[in-house]
Every structure is written in structure tokens, then in C-alpha cells.
A = this chain, B = another copy of it.
Amino acid sequence: MSTSYSYNTRDLKFILKEWLPVEEIFQYEKYNGYYTIEDLDMMIDQCHNIAAEVIAADGDEMEEFGVKFENGKTTVHPGFTRIFKYIQENGWGTSNIEETEGTLPEILQCAIYEMFQAACPPMRAHALTSGAARLIQEFGSEELKEMFLPKMYDGTWAGTMCLTEATAGTDVGDILSKAYPTSDPRVYKIKGSKQFITCGDGDFAENIIHLFLARIEGAAPGTRGISLFVVPKYWVNEDGSLEDNDVVTTAIEHKMGLHAQPTAALAFGDNDRCRGWLVGEPPGPDGVSKGMAQMFQMMNEERKGTGMQALSVAANAYWNAKNYAKERIQGRSASDPKGPRVPIINHADVKRMLMVNKATLEACRAMIMKAYFYQDMFRHDPDPQRRKWAGGRVDVLTPICKAYPSDEAWSLVAESIQTYGGYGYCEDYPVAQAARDLKIYSIWEGTNFIQAQDLINRKWSLDKGVVFADFLKEIEDFIAAHQGNDNGFGLEFANLKEALSSYRDIMAAMAEYKAAKKIGYYQVLARRILTATGQLYGGYCLLDQALIAQKRVNELGPEHWDYHFYYGKVLSARYYLRNVVPNVNLVARLVKEGDDTVIEAPIEIFEY
């Protein structure tokens, strides 16, 4: 049994019930009356059971089966279809965002999806369908909504996002896909090829609704001229019948991981019979269109979602490693070297491998959940000022929440493999697959370099820098509020304060480089700065949580059944603030020194 769902829900409950003021969200008009804080335990437990018993059930078989692509037909494992339908039909998946009855707040959906993703990493069809449906709902005509949404809500049809082409990934502005007007102004002829389309084909849905980027003939070059289309695999006639729409799967990728997930290369209109519905307006006389901006809504959702997926796969690997470390008997206790052999979880270096996972993953969970909290506030708070403020937080946190967890997951899962020793390298145990599955998260939905560019080129300067200054001031205020009142976290506060100061040094040095037009530094330093940002913010979140946890530790005492959870939160913060956060200072040193070796290096040296 190589896949194994071993999640623990306690930290999720802590975040929802004790750390973030989720009750504020529940009081928004959209959600009011449907949820209370008291429901949360039950809901999380229920979804944890669904994850364990429904979602995780076919993991090994799905991994073994992979995806079959024969005679142009794409077949997924029946378990994939079963899970997709289950999520969609039972109200956990795609929903009408205008509904006011029982729609899940985003923060709850995030918590639930973290468990579902851990239980079945390849399953992503529900989330992509949600993103596609939301685009149609927000930007499409009533006609499009009626035509597509009901069957996307109930899991009959699925959705995708079609951006990448074989020769245009990161630079999506260079896509070659074209759209040509027809006699019907709503409908365009579509021609183009798309690549790496997640859940882009397969027998898990009767129709696949592609949200498709293309340039209408004559539109502006670059991203400005791109429009958004709904291009269904099967054209939907007025009577609801389906007919072939000249969307052909040309390949299913052989991926390193996520074997059960169909990743398709698709040819649209090779036989000139592919049509798509334009979403929104055609380009103006200046050739400018809104397709990219529209798609970015879905993209930004998927970016936070990607960080959550990296977290979920790495966390599941961590808990599997913990289970193994409790069972595996080897070596003797340091305090009793002649005594009996002990489970390896007693060895300090094994505890270190578990601790770096636990602390870092809790930091990731904290920042991701906080981003979703702001997302709910941004969408539904009655106060427009607060909505705007929360939107700024979402903007800042999106690249951090995408890239930091997906970068760290690779080294964290290596520690989980190492905990297993040689067994960790065997596919009969779950951690090797976890490593293979999670590698994609640093790449898709915009590589982590793109996230880092987004952070330092756009998010730092959003609204003339006001948004990011306020983001840092939250940390500064937190430190100031506990000056002389550090609850025993003196070293942790000192390290956070030092890191914040170092971070401001980083920003100042980068501003100088910009003023001196040394733009190369914005490339070569970007990813280290993004990591430092994640470490600073993660340290702040963990310390904020630890203050609550320490209080509970003091109240409960060591005999209480819940003591070790809270004590663990305290130790996570201590470990992270002492061992991880000081890296921000090292990054500051490197940024200030401004090594230009890479910038100046001629490409010929890499032959050697």
C-alpha cells in the first residue's frame, strides 16, 4: 500500500476556531445563518472521514492504472471518476457563487480541500471545474451561464484552463492560438494547440469545457490582445444535444508523478470545425482585450490552491513518516545506550526531521488559510474599505502562498524519505510517490520565478507601495504590542524583529538597484527574496499562534488530552523562529552585497 492518508485535523481546527476570527466571515450576509463556529469540528471531522474513506480509497489502483490513451480516447481509472462525481454531487465542489444557501466560505473550502488533496493528489478536476464555472458566471452572458453552468455544478461536465502552448508557457503573451469571427458575433472559429492541460481530457465527464485563451485576428500583440473563450470538447446545440467540436487529444503526458491525473495536449480546429464562445466583449479599436485579466482570476485561485496542494502532499508524507518512526525499532536511547532498542522517533535527529516538517508546514498552512480568510473578506465584507484592504492582502499573499510551500515541499519530503531510510526509496511506501507528485507545484500556474517576479515587481509597489508597507506594518505592530510582554518568547520576538529589519534592508537595497537601473538583480535575487518573505511571514504567523497556544498550555497542564497539540504549537514556533527565520538575515547580506557574477556570466561558460 503505497498511498496512505494519514492526516491530522487538529491544526486546521485551531486555525479556524482559535486563531483567525472566522466568525466574522460567518456573519457576512452571504453566509449568515448557515455556519457557526460550533459546526466546525463536525464539518472538519466529516470531511476528514470522507477523505479517508471515499477519496483515498483507490489510491494505489489509480497510481498503478495511470491514464490510458488509446485510439485517441483518454481513459482514467474509475476511482478518478467516482471521486470527481462524489465531490461535485455532494456539495463539496463546484457551486453557484450567487447562491446564498449553504455555499461554503472559501476558508472552509480550503480546509476541506487540503484534506481531499492529501487523500488523492491527482484529483483536481473539481477545482478546475469550479474555476472555469466561476469565470463563466462572472464574465459570461446569461446564455452561456444557462448553457454550461448547471452541468458543471452537478459534475456531469468538467472544466479546464487552456493557456500554455508548446512554445509559450511562461510568456503567455506569445501564444499562437487564433480566433476568427463568424457570422454570429458571439461565436468564433478557433485554431490552436494547447499543452499541459490538467484534466484536459478523460471519461470522467461527458463534456469538457475549456476556458481558452486566443488572439482574435487583428488584436494587439502580447497579453493585451488576448481574449477568453468557452470552447467545449463537444459543441452544445440549442436542444442540448452534443456534437463533435474538433477538439482532439494528441497526447497524454507521462509525468513524474500525479500518474492518475490526465494531462493533455490538445489540438483545436485542425479540421476547421472548432468553435468557441467569446466571453465578454471583443477587442476595442485599439486591439486590446480583457481575456488575460479574466483568466487571471482563475489563475490566482489556482495559485493559492497550488500552495495548498504542496502543503497537503508534504504534510501527508510527514505524518506517514511519523507513523513509521513510531513503529520502526532501531538503535538505542541516547540516555540508555546499553538498553533495549527503541522506536526511531526517540532519536533526536529523527525528531529534527519531523520538526522541520511540522514547523514549516504549519507556517505554510497558517499563511494559506490567512490568504483565504482575506479572500472571503475581500469578496463579502460589507465595508468597501475593508474589502479593498483585504484584496491587497490577497494580492500580496498569493505569490508567497504559491511559491514558498511548493519550494519547501521538495526539501521537506526529502526529510520524510530520509526518515524511512531505504524503505523511503521503495514505492511500496508512500513518501517516494509524494515526492514525485509534488514536484509539479513549483512549476505550474506560473513558475516560482514568476511568483517571485510578481512579488518584487508588482506586489511590493502595489498602490505606490502602500499595500506592502501595511503588510509589513502588521508584523511591526505585532512585535511592538508585545514589547516587554513577550510571554517567554523573547528570543523569538528578537529574531522576528531582526528579520523584519533585514527584510526592509532587502527592499531598500533592491530600490537602489532599480534606481541605478541594475535590473538584473530583480531576476537573480528574486527567488531567494521570495523565500525570505515566506520565512518572515511564516515566523510571524507561528509566533502569533504560539501566544494563544502557550496560554492554553498553561491552562491545561501536561495531563490534559489536548496538551501536546498546544505544546507542539509552541515548539513549532520556537523551532521555526530560531532555525529558519534567521535565514532572512543571510538573504539580506547577499542582497546588499549584490553579487553580479550570474548577471555578467557569458552563456558559453555553461558548456562546462
Contact = CB atoms under 8 A, between A and B. Distances in A.
Interface string A1-23: 00000001011000000000000
Interface in A566-608: 567-569, 571, 574-575, 578-579, 582-583, 585-586, 589-590, 593, 595, 597-599, 601-608
Interface in A309-356: 322, 325-326, 329-332, 334, 341, 345-349, 351-352, 354-355
Contacts of A568: 601, 604-608
A427 interface: yes
Nearest to A603: B345
18 contacts: A8-B608, A11-B608, A167-B330, A196-B422, A257-B425, A345-B606, A346-B603, A348-B524, A349-B524, A349-B527, A351-B524, A351-B601, A436-B436, A564-B604, A574-B595, A578-B590, A578-B597, A582-B586
A560 to B, nearest CB: 12
Chain A contact residues: over half helix, strand or loop, or mixed? helix
Given A195-B422, A411-B410, A608 B170 contact: no
A578 B605 contact: no
Nearest to A440: B425
A425 B255 contact: yes
A411 B439 CA distance: 11
B422 A444 contact: yes
B607 A523 contact: no
B571 A171 contact: no
A13 to B, nearest CB: 10
A435 B425 CA distance: 12
Contact of A579 (B10, B257, B422, B590): B590
Contacts of A435: 256, 439
A597 B355 contact: yes
Given A10-B608, A425-B443, 4 more contacts: A256-B425, A345-B606, A351-B524, A574-B595
A437 to B, nearest CB: 10
A177 to B, nearest CB: 16
A37 interface: no
Interface string A210-231: 0000000000000000000000
Contact of A582 (B196, B257, B590, B601): B590
A519 interface: yes
A322 B608 CA distance: 10
A606 B319 CA distance: 8
A105 interface: no
Contact of A608 (B329, B564, B590): B564
Contacts of A253: 425-426, 428
Interface string A398-439: 000000000000110010011001101111100010011001
B169 A421 contact: yes
B349 A169 contact: no
A449 interface: yes
A605 B564 contact: yes
Contacts of A160: none
User: Which 10 residue pairs across A and B have the least CB separation, nearest first?
Assistant: A568-B605, A348-B523, A256-B432, A564-B604, A578-B595, A254-B427, A574-B597, A575-B597, A349-B523, A196-B422
A364 interface: no
A168 interface: yes
Contacts of A193: none
A423 to B, nearest CB: 9
A599 B571 CA distance: 11
Interface hub of A332, A352, A355 (most chain B Cβ within 10 A): A352
Interface hub of A255, A331, A425, A527 (most chain B Cβ within 10 A): A425
A358 interface: yes
Contacts of A346: 603
Contacts of A575: 595, 597-598
A381 to B, nearest CB: 31
A329 B448 contact: no
A331 B597 CA distance: 22
A606 B593 CA distance: 39
B520 A334 contact: yes
Given A354-B606, A571-B597, A164 B422 contact: yes
Given A174-B330, A410-B414, A598 B351 contact: yes
Interface in A537-575: 564-565, 567-569, 571, 574-575
A421 B167 CA distance: 12
B349 A526 contact: yes
